[in-house]
Amino acid sequence: MKLKVKLYGTLSCRFSDYQHLQGMEVEIPDGATVQDLLTLLELSESQNAVAIMEGRVLKKPDKIKHGITVNIFQAISGG
């Protein structure tokens, strides 16, 4: 299935032709999870990626809906 992905923070630097306004289209298998998408994008655990779909923060085992836009943010911490 195809979906649009928008990357935030320094995550977009991994893709030389990435344009934020357009995002990027990726194809993943039906029933794929957030973890499957992060693996496809080669985003490691150390990058602390947080996926949001339809205004909801997703967990790694959550399934992704067909044709939707997934926003992936780089989590920050500190105080």
pTM to 2 decimals?
A: 0.87
In-domain check, residue 62: yes
pLDDT at 23: 94
In-domain check, residue 7: yes
pLDDT at 77: 66
State which residues form the domain around 26: 2-74
In-domain check, residue 64: yes
> How far is CA 45 from each of CA 11, 23, 30, 41, 76, rounded to the nearest angstrom?
13, 22, 23, 12, 13
Give the rounded distance of the alpha carbon of 43 from its chain centre: 9
In-domain check, residue 61: yes
Domain total in the chain: 1
Task: Indicate which CATH number applies to the domain containing 55.
Answer: 3.10.20.30
pLDDT at 79: 60
In-domain check, residue 79: no
Q: Which stretches of the chain score pLDDT less than 50?
A: none
pLDDT at 78: 61
